[in-house]
Amino acid sequence: MEIPTPLRAVLADTDGSWLADFDAALLAPARDSVLGRRLLARTLGAGGAATLLAPAPKPVLTRVLTQWPREKLQSLALNLGVLAFAPVIRAEVARETVRRLKHALDKRYLLALDRQVWDGEVPRELQQRLHRAMHTAMEEAEGAAALLALLGRQGRAELRRWANPRDPALIEWLALLHPRTDDTPVPHLPPAAVQRLYAIHAGN
């Protein structure tokens, strides 16, 4: 079984919107050839992944993908989103809503309740905005999926703010995994809370 190179792994997981200028019929062959991968890398590098896909990218790529494979990075972002919505998750007392939250979040529901990670103190206006956003997502037809999508977007915004300028390559890798026009909510978690979750995930 062939072990994918870091560049090949990046190109395999990159959302198609980042390569929309390429003929769809040519993308698969390009990903499977050395010259094609170099061309795709140059395109992505010019389009927002300059640090991750620099002309000599191996050291950066190897570090980022070794420490943050797709699933692990997605898990960190989702956990950050759950933590960001902790103030309204903790405040929810309606039995049916709590049941649905526990079902959607599973073990992550306990993270939302953990005040040792973050006390969850936010201004009233932000509390109300988070409450509206959470309930709007839960009322959509997709239910749990819409809620998880909301939390994922929020978590990515929190991670982007914290990682800038600490690790621009990580920010670029996170961006490539999602549509180029991905919504960017306003982050509000304190840096210490993001750092705490980042350190926990980085050590796993």
pLDDT (tens digit per residue) in 59-69? 899 999 999 99
Confidence of residue 98 (pLDDT cuts 50, 70, 90): very high
Looking at residue 143, what is its pLDDT? Answer: 86
Quote the CA–CA distance of 115 and 78 in Å, as a whole number: 18
pLDDT at residue 204 tops 80: no
pLDDT tens-digit series, residues 145-190 = 999 999 999 999 999 999 999 999 999 999 999 999 878 899 999 9
pLDDT of residue 1: 40
List Cβ neighbours of 140 (8 Å cut-off, separation of 6 or more): 146
